[in-house]
Amino acid sequence: MTASTPLRILVIGAHPDDCEIKAGGITALYRAAGHNVKFVSVTNGEAGHQSRQPAELAALRLAETQAVAKLMGIEYEVLNNRDGRLQPTVEARFELIALIRRYRPDLILTHRPNDYHPDHRATSTLVCDAAYMVIVPHIVPEVPALRVNPVIAYLSDHFQRPAPFAPTIVIDVEPVLDSILDQMTCHSCQFFEWLPYTLCQENGFPTDPAARRDYLRQFYAGFNGPLADRYRDLVIQTYGEERGRKIRYIEAFEPCEYGSPLTAANQKSLFPMLP
């Protein structure tokens, strides 16, 4: 990788929409600078709805991912593992090893292993278990092994045990907030049907597009807004006192020990939007 070579960023979430809500902002920044991004949903998303049947929902959610792919100019792959039933099996690990080798990422972003959702935990385990093995030629020998282990970083969360999220990278995503909301809007069955149901807000939920956009903006402010204050010292350290105190929305990333190390030397090349 050189300064003139586009980066290859791989975001691996458990479900369709996980990548967008945790890394949609940095994706918009990467794409604006001409870098390549691929989203992966490790499950087909068939379980996340109160009334749509699994086969119908899986097809709909696949279509929604492709709407995001078209909107952002990225690749988006949905694997055929069943939603809510993901296990960190050898077969699933080998599938991810092959996928990572074929894409040849410089950076992988994924869930942490401690998380409320079993699919998130399993996805994290699968990525971590694939990390070193991507350079081992006799594992998944039909796909040529990588020579260098990619850098891996965790997406943000608020869980405290056994260890709280500890980012070293914070990115101001407020300038691309509308792009994040556009990506989320593509997942209408999740944010306008399933989410209100899970929050017991489905009665009287707005049908007008402008009102739904306002709802999505308010949801994102509540979901993401606390992150900037939680890591305000690091935001100020990164962006300086004046700008750092004003930033409202960030995406944050914690290095994973199992990939190549994220160092002071490669941090700026992997996250070129940093000041």
In this structure, are residues 258 and 222 in contact, taking their beta carbons and an 8 Å threshold?
no
Is 189 domain-assigned? no
Domain-located, residue 88 = yes
The answer to whether residue 220 sits within a structural domain is no
What's the confidence (pLDDT) of residue 267? 96
Instruction: Assess if residue 57 is contained within a domain.
Output: yes
The answer to whether residues 29 and 273 touch, using CB atoms and an 8 Å cutoff, is yes
Residue at 237 is within a domain: no
Q: Are 13 and 115 in contact (CB under 8 A)?
A: no
Residue 138 located in a structural domain: yes
Place of tokens 């049947």: 53
pLDDT given for residue 4 in this prediction: 74
Residue 196 resides in a domain: no
Range of the domain at 95: 8-173+252-270
Contact 249, 174 (CB under 8 A): yes
Alpha carbons 45 and 81: distance in angstroms, whole number: 9
Cβ neighbour number for residue 3 with a 10 Å cutoff? 6
- State percent of the chain over pLDDT 70: 99
Exposure of 86 in the CB half-sphere (CA atoms within 13 A): 30
Q: What is the pLDDT of residues 213-254, one digit of tens each?
A: 999 999 999 999 999 999 999 999 999 999 999 999 999 999
Provide the 8-state DSSP code for 14. S
Give me the CATH number covering residue 262.
3.40.50.10320
- CB count within 10 Å of CB 223 equals 12
273 CB neighbour count, 10 Å cutoff: 18
* Residue 3 pLDDT > 70: no
pLDDT at residue 2 above 90? no
pTM value is: 0.97
Which secondary structure element, helix H or strand E, spans residue 251, and what is its range?
strand 250-255
In a domain, 180, yes or no: no
Number of folded domains that form the chain: 1
